[in-house]
Every structure is written in structure tokens, then in C-alpha cells.
Amino acid sequence: MIDLHNHILPGIDDGPATLLESLELARIAVDDGIQHIVATPHIHPGRYENQISNIQPVLLKLQQSLIELDIPLTLSMGAEVRISTEMLNMIPARKIPFIGNWFGQSILLLEQPHSHILPGTLKLIHWLQSQNITPMIAHPERNKEIMLTPDKLSPFVEAGCLIQLTAMSITGNFGAKAQHCANHILEQDWVTVIATDAHNKNHRPPILSHSFKTVVEMLGLQHATRLFIDNPKIILGQSS
């Protein structure tokens, strides 16, 4: 399996604090059947002042440690980008990494506030698309406004956004409301990928197998394979 949203890099956001903790997450992921992780630290101006220049050396150090310890996990660079005015300048300056490509467009993992949908978000999405960027909306099922009214996600799907659900939402670990919302989004066939959004080994581990099994039971093996394996491979340019 492939995990396209994961905060595995140490000391860079609210994920693991140390390299040893990152390596623990790597081992958990490999044991769960994950072969490739896109490291997606927060880019959240005013809170996490990350960009390619400081993400890349941390990624390289972790990659080297995986090789030295013979942990069979591939890492690549991305970011989870909080909606902000700063991103309008950071993108043209090439300070923000993309998680992959979708049929010729770069994919930006875009995070909304957890409380609501910001006014003007669709306008931002249209601007991103004009820059040859396809937004992937991170964990919409955990946005309080969308949790109350899941169909508020519909305009974003119609606008061409990709959708990423959190594995632990599907299994109920983020509560009944998030689970209900995730199920609705799955049933509407709006989901592009399911990822862990892992942060730590105890409360937010890099586990996909449990939600894979749940999606198989809900929608069948072919559908689950598309969300956990096939679409991520397309995004990473690994599909045949």
C-alpha cells in the first residue's frame, strides 16, 4: 500500500519529535504493508514555517537512516498546506512541494480549517487550477461544517478537486460524526485516496490495513484497491 499523507518527518511539525520516533513509525508502516510514504509536514504560516528548503534535508536524513537500518520503506516529499494568503506567493516562488501528479497537473494537499469552510475557498481552487495545480482536499470528513452537512463537499468535487479521507475516520477512531461523514463521502464515490495522516505511534499510527478491510466490506475489493493502491500509484507515476 501507499500512504500519501503522513507526518513522519522528525522535529518539523506536530509529528514525531526525534529521528528514533520517526523510525518507529516507519517500522509500524512496513509491518502494516505500507511500501511508500509521502512525507507531508504542515506548511501553516504563523505556526509551522516549513518550505522545501528546510523539509528536504530532514527527509534526506530519514531516508539515509532507513537505508542504514535496512527498513524497506520508500519516502518522497510533499506537504500539507493550510489555506493562507502566504501560499499565493509561496507557490510561484516554488517553495511548496507537491505530493505527485494527476493527469498532467501537480497535486497540492490542501488543508482547510477544522471548524468551517473558508469563504473564497472555491476562488482559491480556481486560481490553483489556473497554475496547473489540482487541489487534493485533506480529511474533509473531519471539518466540522462538512461533518454537519456532508454534501457541502459536493461543489469541491464538481470543481475538480481530489479528496483524501483519513483511514482512522473510516474505522471510527475520530468519532461517530467523522465516521458517518466518511461513509457518506465513500458512498458518493467522491474519494480519490485514503491515507493515514499519521503523527505518532499511539494515537495516530501509520496503519492502513484496518480501513482497507472496512472499505472492502463496504464497497468491495476492487474499490478498496483503487483508493489504497491504484490511485496512489497514478499520483506517484508508478502505474503501468
Residues 6 or more apart in contact with residue 22 via CB below 8 angstroms: 8, 9, 10, 15, 16, 62, 65
63-72 tens-digit pLDDT = 999 999 999 9
Within a domain: 151: yes
- Check whether 139 has a pLDDT greater than 90: yes
For position 69, which CATH number holds?
A: 3.20.20.140
CA dist 71 and 177 (Å) reads 37
Q: What is the pLDDT of residues 183-214, one digit of tens each?
A: 999 999 999 999 999 999 999 999 999 999 99
Tell whether 111 is covered by a domain.
Answer: yes
Q: Write out the residue range of the structural domain in which residue 168 sits.
A: 2-235
Give residue-wise pLDDT tens across range 11-50: 999 999 999 999 999 999 999 999 999 999 999 999 999 9
- Output phi, psi for 191, to 5 deg: -85, 135
Instruction: Using alpha carbons, list the distances in angstroms from residue 22 to 13, 79, 94, 189.
Output: 12, 16, 27, 33
Q: Is residue 240 part of a domain?
A: no
Domain count, the chain: 1
Round the average pLDDT of the chain to a whole number and report it: 97
Collect all residues with Cβ–Cβ distance below 8 Å to 175 and sequence separation of at least 6.
Answer: none
Is the pLDDT at 240 greater than 80? The verdict is no
Nearest-5° angle of CA 226, CA 231, CA 232?
120
Q: Is residue 198 assigned to a domain? A: yes
